[in-house]
């Protein structure tokens, strides 16, 4: 392309932006994190707005369900790298730009602070909380401005983050993901979601990586009543062995829908106020033939079900489907090794639908259609082209201001569903950093915990990684490194030693009261000092009372913003707070806090993370959090 052509092409930009700014744009280097719905729009807009040096990263591959909005992809691209195809498609239309595509995980050492330093601006087009927090921390550490964005259905949001000048992504609290007590899941379900979570656990138990903490069932245990120590009290289900001899699917069905249920139904204490679950025998169910119009209907029986997936299966259909799933998944398991549950995999989804519905039927809970189960199991957030287009456009408006050094004029913008009064977009100025933010202000935090009861592993996994979003924490007390994550630099002995240390309770590993613990993360280039405060009052993890709100109170972090303040008293910025919009984004993770074991007398203390798929999936948006839409709405009015 010659100069004249290029000038003619860019005429509009030069006229409206001015030559100087347009050159700044052309010379800038920018990073786009995420090549999903927003990422596609963003890449297109950047290229057609004069940006010439762009890198884009995404670890995901293209899925059929992306094609209703991620317009740089076609059917023939399914299974390929999003970042790479996005680059190819854009270059086809605009060969004169430099785009580098990375098919990889932004949270790994390949993309540490050195990588980020190369850019004048980073733009997040991400879906999940942990990656967003990670990018936030790295951008703060290398002082590169970050534009943060998200969409959910018709809602969307864009904001700008700059070290020392604006709020960072973690200045405002985010709600924690929904949690269910293990006893509810395992023994006492009362809603469809409980059975769905159970079915996902069962999937992991049967076909996933062996995981001791997955307590959903013990396949060979046929004890249904009594204490094994006192043989005279014991009742066993001898039928289990017979079924096992018949074959795999007979065995599994009998175990989970007969033996386990039989055992539960014998716990008279639990069924004082409601009818006990009824064990199902496979043979009698199959002989029953088609008992369609079975017992239950959906709670929300309003819509006219026309789609196959929206039809409610009868109990008999669920059983047939469940057995077929067992066959198919077992075969795949034997061929490919352990399976990871994926909402977009047909048979994984059929399995969870059928298994959860059979269990629901046993407990007298309404069954759900596959479509609805998918929503709940996959935590699916609606996503459409229109919202992404608006958000993609808004990001570039902010990007131009950042590149032009006009940070003061940058805004936070929210897109609403319904134009109320005069607003479809709500724009507000950027807030100052929260001086109490442990991420962007140098700040110590305190951890109140029972150091006699909490293990090092719980500290690392549940507190440091899950709650404080460290990727690979290194724990130091004084000059001694106590704990180092990641396996790359460690010898087998060191890993072995680490495993032993993980089992210790904190107090036995120098992490006792009033110790100042330094936690560092090299990938995030982030560190924080934590003062450990022992408290006898803090419960053991998972031993909280049955009341929902107390489930997660086994540790407390002081000095970190906590989600609690009522909406009305919040300032504008936090009502429509980006982090609030982006709460339940680790979509495949449903955390289970184990409370009481089925035998009410013993307390157990495992935490199971039903993490179906740890990979960041395609979602380009935070969740349609009802709270958020409420908050947005309230503000809008």
Partner 1 sequence: MSQTTGTDTEKYDRQLRLWGEEGQARLEKSSICLLNGTATGAETLKNLVLPGIGAFTIVDNQKVAESDLGNNFFVERQSLGQNRSKVVCELLRELNDRVKGSSVEEDPIHLINTNISFFKDFNLVIANRIPEEPLLTLSQYLYENNIALVVVNSYGFIGYLRLSVPEHQVIESKPDTPMDDLRISEPFKELEDYANSINLESLNSQQHSHIAYVLLLIKFFNAWKSTHGGKLPETRPEKEEFKKFFISKSRNYKDELNFNEGVTNLLKAFQPSRVPSDVDQILKDPKTSELTENSDDFWVLAAALKSFVEEHKKLPLHGNVPDMTADTLGFIKLQNIYQDKANEDLSDLTGRVESILSKIGKDTIPQEYIKKFCKNARFLHLARYRSLNEERTQPRTQVITGELEQPDNLMVFYIVLRAVDKFFTLYNRYPGFNDEDIDSDQSLLKNIVNQLLSELQIPTDLVKDDYVNEFTRYGASELHNIASLMGGITSQEIIKLITHQYIPLNNTYIFNGINSTGANWKL
Q: How far is the CB of 49 from partner 1 (least distance, A)?
A: 5
Q: Is 437 annotated as a binding residue?
A: yes
Q: Which is nearer to partner 1, 424 or 557 (CB)?
A: 424
Which residue bears the tokens 């919202």? 387
* Distance in angstroms (rounded) separating the CA atoms of residues 210 and 197: 18
* Distance in angstroms (rounded) separating the CA atoms of residues 164 and 435: 10
Q: Are 536 and 450 within 8 A, CB to CB?
A: yes
Q: How far is the CB of 272 from partner 1 (least distance, A)?
A: 7
* Distance in angstroms (rounded) separating the CA atoms of residues 165 and 480: 35
Q: Is 48 annotated as a binding residue?
A: no
Q: Is 139 annotated as a binding residue?
A: no
Q: Is 129 annotated as a binding residue?
A: yes
Q: Which is nearer to partner 1, 340 or 428 (CB)?
A: 428
Q: Which of 561, 553, 537, 535 is nearest to 593 (CA)?
A: 553
SS3 108: coil
* Distance in angstroms (rounded) separating the CA atoms of residues 527 and 525: 7
Q: Which is nearer to partner 1, 218 or 309 (CB)?
A: 309
* Distance in angstroms (rounded) separating the CA atoms of residues 414 and 622: 13
Q: Are 588 and 93 within 8 A, CB to CB?
A: no
- Written as six digits, the tokens of 540 are 């053991």
Q: Which is nearer to partner 1, 234 or 546 (CB)?
A: 546
The phi, psi pair for 423, rounded to 5°, reads: -115, 130
Which residue bears the tokens 């067992």? 326
Q: Which is nearer to partner 1, 109 or 298 (CB)?
A: 298
Q: How far is the CB of 21 from partner 1 (least distance, A)?
A: 13
- Written as six digits, the tokens of 380 are 């699916």
Q: Is 39 annotated as a binding residue?
A: yes
Q: Is 68 annotated as a binding residue?
A: yes
Q: Is 410 annotated as a binding residue?
A: no
Q: Which is nearer to partner 1, 423 or 615 (CB)?
A: 423
Q: Are 135 and 106 within 8 A, CB to CB?
A: yes
Pairing of strands 29-33, 53-57: parallel
| Burial zone of 306 (CB within 10 Å; 0-12 exposed, 13-18 middle, 19+ buried) | exposed
The phi, psi pair for 295, rounded to 5°, reads: 10, -60
Cα(first)–Cα(last) distance of the chain, in Å? 51
Q: How far is the CB of 93 from partner 1 (least distance, A)?
A: 6
Q: How far is the CB of 258 from partner 1 (least distance, A)?
A: 22
Q: Is 131 annotated as a binding residue?
A: yes
* Distance in angstroms (rounded) separating the CA atoms of residues 528 and 514: 16
Q: How far is the CB of 44 from partner 1 (least distance, A)?
A: 5
The phi, psi pair for 602, rounded to 5°, reads: -100, 145
- Written as six digits, the tokens of 301 are 């029986």
Active site annotation includes 410: no
Q: Is 150 annotated as a binding residue?
A: no
Query: Residues near 161 by Cβ (< 8 Å), separated by ≥ 6?
Result: 136, 139, 140, 145, 146, 147, 148, 167, 168, 169
Q: Are 297 and 368 within 8 A, CB to CB?
A: no
SS3 246: helix
In this structure, the number of other CB atoms found within 10 A of the CB of residue 537 comes to 7
In this structure, the number of other CB atoms found within 10 A of the CB of residue 67 comes to 14
CA angle 409, 415, 417 (to 5 degrees): 165
Q: How far is the CB of 567 from partner 1 (least distance, A)?
A: 12
* Distance in angstroms (rounded) separating the CA atoms of residues 180 and 592: 5
Q: Is 333 annotated as a binding residue?
A: no
Q: Which of 539, 522, 400, 436 is nearest to 46 (CA)?
A: 400
- Written as six digits, the tokens of 80 are 């390929």
* Distance in angstroms (rounded) separating the CA atoms of residues 412 and 395: 10
Find the catalytic residue in 183, 195, 325, 410: 183
SS3 424: strand
Q: How far is the CB of 306 from partner 1 (least distance, A)?
A: 5
Q: Which is nearer to partner 1, 309 or 562 (CB)?
A: 309
Q: Which is nearer to partner 1, 372 or 586 (CB)?
A: 372
Q: Are 533 and 517 within 8 A, CB to CB?
A: no
Q: Is 34 annotated as a binding residue?
A: yes
Q: Which is nearer to partner 1, 392 or 622 (CB)?
A: 392
Q: How far is the CB of 244 from partner 1 (least distance, A)?
A: 33
Q: Is 533 annotated as a binding residue?
A: no
Binding residues for Zn(2+): 168, 171, 437, 440
Binding residues: 34-39, 58, 66-69, 82, 127-132, 168, 171, 437, 440
What are the catalytic residues?
A: 183
Binding residues for ATP: 34-39, 58, 66-69, 82, 127-132
């Amino acid at each position: 392309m010659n100069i004249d052509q290029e000038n003619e092409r860019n005429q509009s930009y030069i006229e409206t932006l001015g030559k100087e700014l347009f050159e700044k744009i052309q010379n800038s280097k920018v990073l786009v994190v995420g090549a999903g719905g927003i990422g596609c729009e963003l890449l297109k807009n950047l290229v057609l707005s004069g940006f010439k040096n762009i890198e884009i990263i995404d670890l995901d591959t293209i899925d059929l369900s992306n094609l209703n909005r991620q317009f740089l992809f076609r059917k023939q691209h399914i299974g390929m790298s999003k970042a790479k195809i996005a680059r190819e498609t854009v270059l086809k239309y605009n060969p004169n730009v430099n785009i580098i595509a990375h098919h990889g995980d932004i949270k790994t050492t390949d993309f540490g602070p050195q990588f980020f330093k190369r850019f004048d601006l980073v733009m997040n087009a991400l879906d999940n909380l942990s990656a967003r927090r990670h990018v936030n921390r790295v951008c703060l550490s290398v002082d590169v401005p970050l534009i943060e964005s998200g969409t959910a259905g018709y809602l969307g949001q864009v904001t700008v983050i700059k070290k020392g000048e604006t709020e960072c992504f973690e200045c405002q609290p985010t709600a924690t993901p929904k949690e269910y007590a293990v006893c509810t899941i395992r023994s006492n379900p009362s809603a469809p979601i409980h059975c769905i979570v159970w079915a996902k656990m069962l999937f992991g138990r049967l076909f996933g990586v062996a995981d001791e903490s997955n307590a959903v069932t013990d396949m060979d245990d046929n004890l249904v009543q009594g204490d094994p120590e006192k043989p005279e009290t014991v009742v066993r289900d001898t039928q289990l062995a017979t079924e096992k001899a018949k074959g795999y699917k007979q065995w599994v069905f009998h175990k989970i829908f007969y033996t386990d249920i039989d055992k539960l139904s014998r716990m008279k204490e639990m069924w004082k106020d409601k009818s006990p679950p009824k064990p199902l025998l496979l043979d009698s169910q199959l002989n029953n033939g088609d008992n369609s119009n079975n017992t239950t209907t959906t709670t929300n029986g309003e819509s006219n079900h026309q789609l196959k997936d929206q039809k409610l299966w009868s109990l008999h259909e669920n059983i047939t489907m469940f057995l077929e799933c067992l066959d198919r998944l077992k075969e795949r398991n034997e061929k490919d090794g352990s399976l990871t549950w994926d909402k977009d995999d047909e048979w994984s989804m059929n399995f969870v639908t059928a298994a959860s519905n059979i269990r629901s039927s046993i407990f007298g809970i309404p069954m759900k259609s596959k479509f609805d189960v998918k929503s709940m199991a996959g935590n699916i957030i609606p996503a459409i082209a229109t919202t992404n287009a608006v958000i993609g456009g808004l990001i570039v408006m902010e990007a131009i201001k950042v590149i032009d050094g006009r940070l003061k004029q940058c805004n936070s913008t929210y897109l609403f569903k319904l134009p109320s009064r005069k607003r479809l977009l709500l724009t507000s100025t950027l807030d100052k950093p929260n001086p109490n933010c442990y991420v962007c202000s140098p700040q110590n935090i305190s951890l109140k915990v029972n150091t006699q009861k909490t293990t090092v592993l719980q500290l690392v996994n549940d507190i440091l990684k899950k709650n404080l979003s460290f990727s690979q924490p290194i724990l130091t007390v004084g000059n001694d490194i106590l704990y180092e994550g990641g396996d790359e630099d460690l010898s087998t002995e060191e890993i072995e030693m680490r495993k032993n240390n993980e089992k210790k309770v904190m107090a036995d590993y120098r992490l006792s009261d009033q110790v100042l613990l330094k936690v560092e993360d090299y990938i995030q280039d982030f560190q924080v000092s934590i003062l450990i405060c022992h408290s006898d009052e803090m419960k053991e993890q998972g031993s909280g009372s049955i009341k929902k709100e107390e489930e997660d109170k086994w540790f407390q972090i002081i000095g970190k913003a906590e989600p609690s303040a009522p909406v009305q008293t919040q300032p504008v910025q936090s009502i429509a707070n980006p982090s609030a919009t982006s709460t339940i984004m680790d979509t495949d993770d449903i955390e289970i806090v184990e409370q009481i074991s089925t035998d009410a007398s013993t307390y157990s203390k495992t935490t199971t993370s039903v993490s179906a798929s740890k990979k960041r999936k395609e979602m380009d948006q935070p969740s349609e959090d009802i709270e958020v839409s409420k908050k947005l709405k309230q503000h809008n009015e």
